């Protein structure tokens, strides 16, 4: 069950989203946004379809706080 009272800034949230999506892609190779989003959607109140999504999100927030924004080089390959 998801429960939290901590707050982050909009910028931290955006950067955490980038980290989380990259990590999810690295784990699964999935590029279909509907598949990615379906795991994060709630199936019951405060319970995502894939409970691991909550922990991916928490890890991504911590990464933003510890390392700052993700490098552009990690997202765009020549």
The pTM of this model reads 0.74
Distances (CA, A) of 39 to 16, 20, 46, 55, 76: 17, 13, 13, 12, 25
Is 63 contained in some domain? yes
Report pLDDT digits (tens) over 31-68: 888 878 888 888 988 888 888 888 888 999 999 999 99
Per this entry, what is the length of the chain?
78
Q: Count the Cβ atoms, other than its own, within 10 Å of residue 5.
A: 4
Assess if residue 50 is contained within a domain. yes
The Cα–Cα gap between 65 and 75 comes to 19
Residue 4, in any domain of the structure: no
For position 49, what pLDDT does the model report?
A: 86
Host domain of residue 54:
10-70
- Give the chain's domain count: 1
């Amino acid at each position: 069950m998801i429960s939290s009272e901590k707050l982050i800034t909009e910028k931290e949230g955006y950067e955490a989203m980038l980290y989380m999506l990259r990590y999810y892609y690295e784990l699964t190779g999935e590029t279909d946004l509907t598949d990615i989003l379906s795991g994060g959607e709630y199936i019951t109140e405060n319970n995502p379809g894939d409970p691991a999504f909550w922990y991916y999100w928490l890890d991504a927030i911590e990464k933003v706080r510890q390392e700052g924004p993700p490098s552009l080089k990690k997202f765009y390959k020549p």
